[in-house]
Structure 1
Amino acid sequence: MIFLYNLLLPLAALVGLPYYAVRMVLTGKYRKSLGPKLGFYPDSKVFSGLGGSPRIWMHAVSVGEVTAAAPVMAELRTRYPRACLVLSTSTETGREMADRLVTEATAHIYYPLDLPFVVARMLRRVRPDVFVPTETELWPNFLTQCRARGVQVVLVNGRISPRSFRRYGRTRFFWKGLLEGLDGLGMISETDARRVQELGALREKVQVLGNAKYDSLASRTSDDLRAEISRKLDIRPGSPVFVAGSTHEGEEAACLAVYRRLLEVDPEFQLILVPRHIERGDAVADLVRQAGFKDIFRVSEMGGGRRRKGNRIVIVDVIGELFKAYSLATVVYCGGSLVPRGGQNILEAAAWGKVVLYGPSMEDFEGEKALLEEAGAGISVADEEELLARMLSLLADPEQLKRRGEQGRLAIAANAGAARRYADLIGRHLAAR
């Protein structure tokens, strides 16, 4: 299977390279990461300073996975103060988030492209005792070479979404061998554990250990962080604010229509729009203007010295501000859900004690949805009209809004502890070497 995989890699490169080349030229995306992903680092000190023991390499694809990796890395640093802890990411936005969140890492690097010679070079440089992928990021050449070098591979915060399960299921014959070769699999839920076993993981290696994102969120909220974003966006505490987070194409129009109706109830309402992909900032700004709103402030403009001065609508088109923006919300909509994208992370808003509304497409966040709905802090809506109706109902009863939000915050806090369990799992495999 690996031979066939490597035979097909050049074909995949021929198909994919023109697309990525165009994106690089037009948007600047991938310029920072392409060289390192091929093993080229202009600063050789990145690897010359990798001393310490044990040697643990954790991988988090992008922003979401970094938030899960952060508390695990913090726990590992506490347990192994002299360890070499390397964190890799696949995306530039993930790397930016890692630089801010995961200060315990000895080094931050990009995950190598799954080419045999590149993988071999990076493994020689890092020399891990244990490799720790988060969620379900599995690359055949990398895992094969880890096995050949005696590197333990321990999956943490593992999850298999319904879409991934269907996709992997069509090529189960390929993934079965890779999953059987993993040394340990820590999964978020019983559903994830069942799915990974059906794909080929050995039952005795699979454990259900919970979601490390609960630990990350519970530790990140603070009055100082809320005050920081309040000053930055010039929004007074207690002002009525509608935050639409992680929106995808097709959702901003619905949010703008809802916002127009909220203004009829309270003309002081402000809107913070946070597109899931910041490169859509121009398109979202155009959409806002087409909807008749001219008073717009884009956070990316702050780099040029502009400051918000009472603008009605704020577009957050920079990375790393969504979590803080949720702290200002009176009402929250979390995107990727009124369109068929499987949802986005609804826990970030709930960690601040906010009731979260979302559409029917939440397949990738079933556990989080169940937790918040049981606590009364998560509300599913079918469409734009129901979104407005449920928001108006909540706004009409501020005490209920506050109480339900607090119940969600407490539910997240009660589920903390997964980071410690994942560190235990990693520790057992370090001891077994």
Structure 2
Amino acid sequence: MSSSAEYGARPRVWFAVYQLLWHLLLPLAFIRLAWRARHSFAYLHHIPERLGFGYDKPIKQESIWIHAVSVGETRAAQPLIDAYLARGETILLTHMTLNGRRTGKQLFANQIASGQIRQVYLPYDLCWSVEHFLNIFKPKLGLFMETEAWPTVVFRCAEIGPPLFLVNARLSERSARRVNRFGKAGRSLFQAFAGILAQTEFDAQRYRSLGVKNISIVGNLKFDVPLDPLLIQQGKQWQQELHASKRLMVCAASTRDGEEEILLKAWKDLMLSNSFVIAPLLCLVPRHPERFADVADLMYSAGLKFRRRTEWSGIPTECAGLDVVLGDSMGEMPMYYSAADLVVMGGSLLPFGGQNLIEACAAGCPVLLGEHTYNFQQASLDAIQAGAAKRIGGDLLLSEPTALMEALKVLLLNTAELGTMSQAAKTYSIEHQGATKRILAALDQQNFSLN
């Protein structure tokens, strides 16, 4: 393993200021957890772990450490975790968010119960908490998913180990500019990784602009994530029942704050356009569970007839008379995608950078994108080129979201085009698989031993 000096030394003055700020803001971090506990008391569980302490089970050292901050990263890590488990490795799986931890527990319940996977929170980025965490677990390899780069963790791993890699790494132009504003201090953070395994050439070029040397382009792990066959079956059953009544469904997936108003206004205008003999159904799935109630209030205020997904014990089989279904369940996105004839991808209508369109394509669902897809730049461009997705023209920040309404109307009235896009989406998702094997091969070629 190379020394930290090869990758970039810890910037002493900047790092000291960073640590001071962390200590000053630490009380606010706990106040924030307490505030979120209004929605779920689980936010207050495992508090000592946030400081690098309180591990109540025997510690298994020398594991592969995979850090997946939240839900998307945890799902993306699934094929990589499965591959290491198949090799007989044990996994230390860390998160920062409650929903990320819940997702990991849902995906790997059996492996957690058997001790193959240990699941904890990554401690806050304080010198003493990180030091204690590393001394307790002593992982032999660290893999951070996508964009996570906590300075204390990164620099300490560069100095004493384990070798720490950023995998499935992506970096938008906006983020690269933000890093460069910190000058040498910002660039040294990414130089301190033992290596970066980037999703695309776009990402690799941005990391190179920060002075990173050890970069491989491996593709996107999200293409390798398997969809739950039971959820796919349930979604197809729901779609068949809708089609039997000659009704189409649009899924607005992983929507963010402000986008629901745009979508509901466009949907109401679409209903009032009298363009359909049988009106289509909208299934709106907010990204953050704590916003479900607020989005329900928006639907009520818009005068739309809706029901919550959680009001059904099984799949929503009776949708007659409804304008909207509120997808207020967790872990059922493959079902929603499989039931839908078209997806509007949340996070792309307003400048949030977009959400993961790959899962929708894997389920064979065409995608409608807004302008803001910088977090999935290459995937979006490839999907559009493959005919699996289309981009909405026009300014969706205006109070009259005509462009979205017109885009929906054109596609929903052309079921033949939707069918062609659906097949293109499946082909696109299959052709881009293989990142897991490339990541494993790249890591196996590094100058350290996992034995």
Q: Do residues 56 (structure 1) and 49 (structure 2) align? A: no
Distance 2:136 2:208 in 1: 33
The one of 403, 408, 425 equivalent to 1:408 is 425
Which residue number in structure 2 is paired with residue 93 of structure 1? 99
Q: Is the 8 A contact 2:39 2:290 kept in 1?
A: no
Aligned counterpart, 2:52: 39
1:251 to 259, 281, 285: 259
User: 1:26, 1:409 → 2: CA distance?
Assistant: 37
Q: After TM superposition, give the deviation of residue 296 of structure 1 in Å.
A: 2.5
Structure 1 pair 282–424 and aligned structure 2 pair: CA distance change class (3 A):
same
**Which of 227, 236, 250 matches 2:241?**
236
Q: Secondary structure at the match of 2:375?
A: helix
Shift of 1:400: 1.9
**2: CA distance between counterparts of 1:16 and 1:149?**
28
CA–CA separation in structure 1 for the residues paired with 2:218 and 2:239 = 41
Write the distance in 1 (CA, Å) between the matches of 2:267 and 2:107: 32
**Matched residue of 2:207: which SS?**
helix
Q: Distance in 2 between matches of 1:398 and 1:14?
A: 55
Q: Deviation string for 1:17-63 (max 9, x for gaps)?
A: 5444433346647323533222344x622x44x26xx6210111111
- Aligned in 2, Cα 1:266/1:429: closer, same or farther, shift over 3 Å? farther
Match of 1:299 among 298, 309, 320: 309
C-alpha contact 1:93 1:319 (8 A) present in aligned 2 = no
The answer to whether 1:214 aligns with 2:223 is yes
Measured in 2, the distance between the counterparts of 1:230 and 1:406 equals: 15
Deviates more, 1:312-321 or 1:15-24: 15-24
Q: In the TM superposition, what are the counterparts of 1:13-412 in structure 2 within 5 Å?
A: 13-14=26-27, 16-25=29-38, 28=41, 30-41=43-54, 44-45=56-57, 47-48=58-59, 50=60, 55-78=63-86, 80-81=87-88, 83-102=89-108, 106-201=117-212, 203=213, 205-216=214-225, 219-220=226-227, 222=229, 224-229=230-235, 236=241, 238=243, 239-263=247-271, 264=274, 265-293=276-304, 295-301=305-311, 309-310=318-319, 312=322, 313-381=324-392, 382=394, 383=396, 384-412=401-429
For 1:251, give the aligned amino acid: E
Check whether the contact 2:342–2:366 (CA below 8 A) recurs between aligned residues.
yes
Q: 1-side partners of 2:94 and 2:219: how far apart?
A: 22
Task: Indicate which of 7, 11, 16 corresponds to 2:24.
Answer: 11
**Contact 2:231/2:332, CA 8 A, preserved across alignment:** no
Alpha carbons of 1:291 and 1:154: their partners in 2 closer, same or farther (altered >3 Å)? Answer: same
Distance 1:366 1:266, change over 3 A: farther
Q: Which string of whole-angstrom CA distances, capped at 9 and with x for unpartnered residues, describes residues 234-272 of structure 1?
A: 982534212111112222222223333554314352221
- Stretch deviating more after TM superposition (330-339 or 1-10): 1-10
**What TM-score do the two structures reach when normalised by structure 2?**
0.85
1:213 Cα offset (Å) = 0.7
TM score, norm. by length of structure 1: 0.88
Q: How many residues align?
A: 418
The DSSP-based 3-state class of the residue aligned with 2:241 is coil
CA distance in 1, matches of 2:80, 2:218: 12
Q: SS of 2:349's equivalent? A: coil
Question: How far apart in 1 are the matches of 2:41 and 2:378?
Answer: 36
Q: In terms of mean alpha carbon deviation, does 263-272 or 238-247 score higher?
A: 263-272
Q: State the Cα distance separating 1:379 from its structure 2 match.
A: 1.1
Show CA shifts across 1:142-187 (max 9, x none): 1233233331112110111223212212113213333222212101
Q: How many angstroms apart in 2 are the aligned matches of 1:396 and 1:38?
A: 55
2:191 and 2:210 in contact (8 A); partners too? no
Query: How far apart are the structure 1 equivalents of 2:161 and 2:391?
Result: 47
Q: CA-atom RMSD, angstroms? A: 2.6
Tell me the distance in 2 between the aligned counterparts of 1:301 and 1:33.
31
Q: Secondary structure at the match of 1:220?
A: coil
Contact 1:298/1:316 (<8 A) preserved? yes
Quote the offset at 1:431 in angstroms. Answer: 4.2
CA contact (8 A) 2:233 2:335 kept: no
Could you give the per-residue CA deviations for residues 305-340 of structure 1, whole angstroms, max 9, x where no partner exists? 998753622212232222321111012211112212
Structure 2 contact 254–346 (Cα < 8 Å) conserved = yes
8 Å CA contact 2:256–2:287 kept in 1: the answer is yes
Conserved 8 A contact 2:383-2:428? yes
Shift of 1:136: 2.1
For residues 302 and 148 of structure 2, what CA distance do their matches in structure 1 show? 40
Q: From the superposition, tell whether residues 87 and 343 of structure 1 become closer, same or farther in structure 2 (CA, over 3 Å).
A: same
* Contact 1:297/1:308, CA 8 A, preserved across alignment: no
2-structure distance, mates of 1:26, 1:111: 22
In the alignment, the residues of structure 1 paired with residue 80 and residue 39 of structure 2 have an alpha-carbon distance, to the nearest angstrom, of 37
Match of 2:3 in 1: none
Q: Which of 256-265 and 273-282 deviates more?
A: 256-265
Task: Identify if the C-alpha distance between structure 1 residues 31 and 356 changes in structure 2 by more than 3 Å, giving closer, same or farther.
Answer: same
Using a 3 Å threshold, how does the CA distance of structure 1 residues 373 and 137 change in structure 2: closer, same or farther? same
Instruction: Report SS of the residue matched to 1:88.
Output: strand
The SS at the match of 1:407 is helix
